[in-house]
Amino acid sequence: MANFPQRRMRRLRRNPAIRELLSETRLSRHDLVQPLFACDGEGIDRPVEALAGQSHHSTDRIGERALSVKEAGISAVILFGIPDRKDATGSSSLDPEGVVPRAIRAVRESVPEMIVIADVCLCEFTDHGHCGVLQEQSPGEFKVDNDATLEALSRQSTILADAGCDIVAPSAMADGQVQAIRVALDAAGHEEVMILSYAAKYASAYYGPFREAVKSAPAGGDRLGYQMDPRNAREALQEVALDIDEGADIVMIKPALPYLDIIARVHDTFEVPVAAYHVSGEWAQIQAAAEQGLIDGDQVYLESLQAIRRAGASIIVTYGAEQAARMLGSC
């Protein structure tokens, strides 16, 4: 009987070894970045109720947490800060002895070889929850003051680089933030510190658990004026192009799964590494469905990461990075 071409597809899938040999996409623990939440205080390892499996760690404990991440095979963490004190300008983010600089030094001391990424934004440090400094337009009406925000982000980035981070990750979506930060870093002698820009950060409803974790939900208004409209795709390419021109070393798309088309288009258009943030709402949905027995949580989670990798992201920031690394083994 003729060996018809359509039988080829079954032959290509007929056993695990062949499927592994022919797989088009390979997900590795080396692709993953584990977020960590640093808080003020001492002796704190406090579970985040809204974000399954995540905790706030005081800076005297976060080094131990980073060591656990490293032992699982993850080589990079991204740090977010939860300060005890918040104000209108996010001034604690500009303190060289603030929560994130202390966390960077603690991770460096505990795991010197760890790649340390530091988020650069004001939302975690302001009492109003917006990503920049606010300017009153009329009584009770405010907008983000872009110039004042750039100054704050530049100072914050230099302080984080002084503390020892390898990469700063500006997420405020302020116009010109990458250029301002690059100029400030270079002037401070930090030419080797990389910029991972949240270049296409959408004004998404998927951020809820994160905002609860760091208490950064806007006290008034919304972020539609500076984050991207979920309906737009070409705009993402424009934002990415601007950030690359300004000096971004890596560009980020956030969220990930609802924006796989954006990841793919950025990957196909630009010749820089592409990162994607598998955000808190994406993670929480999987965990909630798994708890209800509706899905195999581990397999759905790995499939989600494989989809992000297949779309073109070579770096995936994800809350289950340590868990995924243990499932992936030596890959």
Whether 7 is covered by a domain: the verdict is no
Task: Give the list of residues 6+ apart from residue 231 with CB closer than 8 angstroms, or none.
Answer: none
Q: Shortest CA distance to 246 belongs to which of 161, 181, 327?
A: 181
Cα–Cα separations (whole angstroms), residue 127 to 142, 205, 289: 14, 21, 33
- Say what the pTM is: 0.91
Burial class of 265 by CB neighbour count within 10 A (0 to 12, 13 to 18, 19+): buried
Whether 15 is covered by a domain: the verdict is no
pLDDT, tens digit (0-9, with 9 covering 90-100), for 213-266: 776 666 555 666 778 899 999 999 999 999 999 999 999 999 999 999 999 999
32: containing domain: 27-328
Whether 1 is covered by a domain: the verdict is no
What local confidence, expressed as pLDDT, does residue 219 receive?
56
Assign 102 a pLDDT band (cuts: 50, 70, 90): very high
Q: Which of 70, 143, 201, 215 is catalytic?
A: 201
Domains: count for the chain: 1
Answer yes or no: are the C-beta atoms of 280 and 208 closer than 8 Å: yes
Task: Supply the angle between the helices 321-328 and 62-71 in degrees, to the nearest 10.
Answer: 30
Whether 5 is covered by a domain: the verdict is no
pLDDT, tens digit (0-9, with 9 covering 90-100), for 153-163: 999 999 999 99
Whether 20 is covered by a domain: the verdict is no
Whether 11 is covered by a domain: the verdict is no
> Would residue 70 show up in a list of annotated catalytic residues for this protein?
no
Q: Which of 70, 143, 215, 254 is catalytic?
A: 254
Whether 40 is covered by a domain: the verdict is yes
Assign 16 a pLDDT band (cuts: 50, 70, 90): confident
What local confidence, expressed as pLDDT, does residue 220 receive?
57
> Would residue 201 show up in a list of annotated catalytic residues for this protein?
yes
Q: Rounded to 10 degrees, what is the CA torsion of 240, 174, 98, 247? A: 40
Residue 49, number of CB atoms within 10 A of its CB? 10
> Which CATH number goes with the domain that contains 283?
3.20.20.70
CB burial string 132-167: b at 16+ within 10 A, e below:
bbbeeeeeeebebbbeebbebbbebbbbbbebbbbb
- Quote the CA–CA distance of 192 and 194 in Å, as a whole number: 6
Identify any residues that bridge with 55 across adjacent strands, giving them in sequence order. 47
